[in-house]
Chains A and B, each alone.
Chain A
Amino acid sequence: MLKVLLKKDFRKLAKDPLSLLFLLALPLVITLIARSVFSPSEGVKFVVPLAVVDQDQTPLSGFITGTLTNEKMASLFDVHSIPLKMAKQQLHDNELAGIFVIPKGFTDQFVNQKPASLELTTNPSRQISTGILQSTFEILTDMLDGIRELFPEQIKVLSEANNLDMEAVFQLGRSAMDKILKEKDLLKFPVTFEEEKSKKKETGSSTNGIILAFLPGIAFMSILFVLSSVFKRQGEELENGMINRILVSPATLNQLLSATLIYSLLMVFLIQVVLWLVSIPLFHLQLFHILLLFKGMVYMSLLATLLNAALFSLPIKLSSIEAFSSIVIILVCLLSGLLVSPLIMPGGLRSMVSKSPFYTPVEVLTRSFTNKSYPLLTSNDAIFTGSVLLLLFLSLLMFRSKINRHRAGKV
């Protein structure tokens, strides 16, 4: 039964290549817009305002802050060395994208092979900057780990010395750094797809990361697809008697909805693969960019799904639901800063968006899901993707109950 229903869906698709083309073109256009945002030469000049607070005040911490101000980084970061309190105020006022703190005792911990931590506070209303900061931060910590791994003996010797010679630590760090830079060109930002892959292999972690990284994007696409196909198409079929006719046959409502779900997911997978294959070389986009972008879209889709599900449970005509929800989705997405980052909005619009009631909750939500480093897929992403799929399923259930109510004559 599912096979028959699916075969029909794909046959219909084959007869309507324009809609398939549109489905493929839409994400590409969005990606193109994204590229213009990310590319400093063509689009907006993109500098991340960052406060660096060095509470440790050792040569090592000085070296770390130095890496952020060197010429390679100068095009990317606008570093302010200010006290923590002031930095926090500026972050609150949206003047900074993040605060980087080297806490007191960091060098001690580091040299003594104990867990040492650096602190990064990011500004949730600056998603792109947040992503860049997190990536850089990750490289930095990897680098420091690298130093410890490459020179464990020297560090041990140093730590056992009674009087710790900071100059020596600094020299050691510097030479280790040079070595790593020569070998891996690690500081060439952003991290490229290949580097990420090879790095992962070296550290022996799972190669599933790349495949898993597709998930948020797949979730996003499935929502969009299901929004436009399930809600619209099934709605149409309900109104033009198609569903009635199917339900008189041995096919059941559950089979009908399952087939729709499977079809959507298959389509999404297809579109996703094509999108990735095309967009990476075409727009010189990197995994990092696309992930960042898709995350925003997943949140947007989440909103859209919730909205549709809510609208769907109301006794409104299907065709008006569609029109109404599209308008609301676009408005909410604009006002929440998810469709277009407020960073690239003109001043007036930016202040309007940052004052809109949708902005803060969405950003808080975003932050709770993005405070882990890119481009690795975090468990939060997996949880998020799961919940989006769950919502998708719930919307289908609501559709089902709508049809059942329709059948019972309660609509």
Chain B
Amino acid sequence: MIEVKGLSKRFGDIRAVRDVSFSVEKGEIFGFLGPNGVGKTTSIQMMCGLLTPDSGTIMIDGKELNPDSTEVRRKIGFVPQETALYPDLSATENLRFWGGLYGLKGDALNSRVEDVLRLVELTNRADDKIATYSGGMQKRVNLAAGVLHNPSLVFMDEPTAGVDPQGRFAILNIVRELAASGKAIIYTTHYMDEAQKLCDRIAIMDLGEILGMGSFEELRDQVGKGFQIFAKGDFDGPKLAHQLRKEYEGEVLHSGRGLLAVVVADATELGRFVAAMKAQGVNADDLKIKETDLETVFLKLTGRELRD
């Protein structure tokens, strides 16, 4: 559906996107995972034709992206990071406007508006002003407006940012439903759990680059199944790691001043590691322990926690 090669963009001195390549098939949910400012929005805007790339190619359905072509624009759905809706208008009025821009009118427009309102479960509030909606509801209408014209490729830029867990759950279900209907979906998020649960494949981004790409299982294999231990305290990370090496088996993901991140394979190893840490005078309260997940992969790839 879409194939991107060597996409790059700089803003002055900032290299916002560097050499990004990937492809997404019909029915697939492809996730860009990374904290704020790593170039997710910039990438999406280039793929929608809103920004001109400095270099790289974007092929949609085998043809190079021509942002001026109406035919191409009809294929693309865009759910911007911001809630781009008119707050004084109702959901129906907003949707009718966005549908109108795609040439929908009359019965076709009415039935599409009804369809997407049903999809986002807002039929009963359809005639209320957007301004009276909760954040989660607004995001749902925002999403509905992006898929109203039935595009085959949908870009969603952090559609759950700032939404409470319940609201996020509802949005994820909508996205799954859209993918099940055959749309290719490119989805950006800084929520690790979301990428893990929702996306068929994930690209981990940092400083404009894709550092790792694959399904959740493939990515996790980079660190193995097991436990992640993250220690912060008053110690010299590399030195501590060296001393502990005799006591346990595990992989040091990252170490630094007052910082040590380690992955161990199972509960036995974990127990030994914690005991050794205590022996070295590290306070148990300074240890964060959890099963390995995308966060661990991110930590390994970037040396940073996903949520700083």
The chain A residue sitting closest to B81, CB to CB, is: A241
The one of B9, B89, B93, B102 that contacts A250, using a Cβ cutoff of 8 Å: B102
B88 touches A248 (CB 8 A): no
With a cutoff of 8 Å between Cβ atoms, the chain B residues found around residue A242 in the complex are: 84, 86
User: Closest CB-CB distance, A156 to chain B, in whole Å?
Assistant: 73
Establish whether residues A16 and B50, one from each chain, have CB atoms under 8 Å apart when the complex forms. no
Contact B88 A241 (CB under 8 A): no
A5-13, A143-151, A346-354, A371-379 - interface stretch:
A5-13
In angstroms, Cα B104 to Cα A251, docked, is 13
Is B145 interfacial (CB-CB < 8 Å)? yes
Tell me the B36-56 residues at the A interface (CB within 8 Å).
Answer: 45, 48-52
- Closest A-chain residue to B146, C-beta based? A245
> Is B232 engaged at the interface, CB distance under 8 Å to the other chain?
no
When distances are taken between beta carbons in the complex, the residues of chain B under 8 Å from A15 are 88-89, 129
Q: How far is the CB of A16 from chain B (nearest CB, A)?
A: 6
B103 within 8 A of A: yes
Cα-based distance from A240 to B149 in the complex (angstroms): 22
A66 to chain B minimum Cβ distance, whole angstroms, is: 65
Knowing A12-B86, A241-B82, the reply to whether A249 touches B51 (Cβ < 8 A) is no
B82 touches A246 (CB 8 A): no
Which residues of chain B have C-beta atoms less than 8 A from A5's C-beta?
101
Q: Is residue A244 contacting chain B, with contact meaning CB distance below 8 A?
A: yes
Size range of the interface on B? 20 to 34
B98 within 8 A of A: yes
The CA-CA distance from A252 to B67 in the complex, in Å, is 10
CB neighbours of A262 from chain B (8 A): none
* Cβ contacts A1-38/B at 8 Å (1 or 0 each): 10011011001100110000000000000000000000
**Complex alpha-carbon distance, A408 and B45, angstroms:** 11
Of all chain A residues, the one with the shortest Cβ separation from B50 is: A244
Smallest distance from the beta carbon of B53 to chain A beta carbons, Å? 10
Chain B window 90-128, contacts with chain A (Cβ cutoff 8 Å), 1 for yes, 0 for no: 000100011011110000000000000000000000000
- Cβ < 8 Å to B, chain A residues 128-187: none
Instruction: Tell whether, in the assembled complex, residue B78 and residue A7 are in contact, meaning their CB atoms are under 8 Å apart.
Output: no
B173 to chain A, nearest CB (A): 23
Interface string of B121-153 (1 = CB under 8 A from A): 000000001000000000000000100010000
Take A11-B89, A245-B145, A250-B102 as given contacts and tell me if A4 and B84 are in contact as well, using a CB distance cutoff of 8 Å. Answer: no
| A85 interfacial by beta-carbon distance below 8 Å | no
User: Is A409 interfacial (CB 8 A cutoff)?
Assistant: yes
A269, B51: Cα distance in complex, Å: 37
- The answer to whether the Cβ of A278 comes within 8 Å of any Cβ in the partner chain is no
Rounded to whole Å, the gap between the CB of A52 and the closest CB of chain B is: 61
- B226 contacts chain A at the CB level, 8 A cutoff: no
B253 contacts A by Cβ under 8 Å: no
The answer to whether A11 and B93 have CB atoms under 8 Å apart is: yes
Q: Which residues of B contact A244 (CB under 8 A)?
A: 45, 48, 50, 78, 80, 84
Taking the closest CB of chain A, its distance from the CB of B96, in whole angstroms, is 9
CB-CB under 8 A from B82, the residues of chain A are 240-241
Of A12, A245, A409, the contact of B88 (CB 8 Å cutoff): A12
* Complexed CA–CA distance, A5 and B96 (Å): 11
Task: Report the minimum CB–CB distance from B17 to chain A (whole Å).
Answer: 10
User: Is A114 in contact with chain B by the CB < 8 A criterion?
Assistant: no
B101–A241 touching, CB < 8 Å:
no
Cβ–Cβ contact B50 & A407, under 8 A: yes
For B50, what are the chain A residues with a Cβ–Cβ distance below 8 Å?
244, 247-248, 407
Residues of A within 8 A of B176 (CB): none
CA distance A217 to B103 in the complex (A): 37
B268 at the binding interface (Cβ < 8 Å): no
Write the nearest CB–CB distance from B150 to chain A, whole angstroms: 13
Distance in angstroms between the alpha carbons of A3 and B101 in the assembled complex: 10
How distant is the Cα of A242 from the Cα of B149 in the complex, in angstroms? 17
Which B residues touch A245, using CB under 8 A? 78, 80, 84, 98, 145
Residue contact B97 to A8, C-beta cutoff 8 Å: yes
- Which of B68-76, B163-171, B210-218, B241-249 touches A? B68-76
Q: Is the CB of B84 within 8 A of A240?
A: yes
Give CA–CA (A409, B86) in the complex, Å.
26
Alpha-carbon separation in the docked complex, A246 to B74 (Å): 12
Residue pair B70, A250 in contact (C-beta under 8 Å):
yes
How far, in angstroms, from A242 to B11 measured CA to CA in the complex?
Answer: 22
Q: Which of A206-253 contact B (CB under 8 A)?
A: 240-242, 244-252
Cβ–Cβ < 8 Å partners of B98 in chain A: 245, 249
Q: A11-B93, A12-B88, A16-B88 are in contact. Are A250 and B101 (CB under 8 A)?
A: yes
Quick check: B11 and A248 within 8 Å, CB to CB? no
The answer to whether A407 touches B84, judged by C-beta atoms less than 8 angstroms apart, is: no
Closest to B77 in A: A248
Pairs of residues from A and B, 8 with the lowest C-beta to C-beta distance, nearest first: A241-B82, A4-B100, A241-B84, A249-B101, A241-B80, A248-B78, A15-B88, A245-B84
A selection of 26 A-B contacts at a CB cut-off of 8 Å is A4-B101, A8-B86, A8-B97, A11-B93, A11-B97, A15-B88, A15-B129, A16-B88, A240-B84, A241-B82, A241-B84, A244-B50, A244-B78, A245-B78, A245-B80, A247-B50, A248-B48, A248-B73, A248-B76, A248-B78, A250-B70, A250-B74, A251-B101, A407-B52, A409-B10, A409-B51
Apart from A241-B83, A409-B9, list 13 A-B contacts with CB within 8 A: A8-B86, A8-B100, A12-B89, A15-B129, A240-B84, A244-B45, A244-B48, A246-B101, A247-B49, A248-B76, A248-B78, A249-B102, A250-B74
Interface residues of A (CB under 8 A from B): 1, 4-5, 7-8, 11-12, 15-16, 240-242, 244-252, 407-409
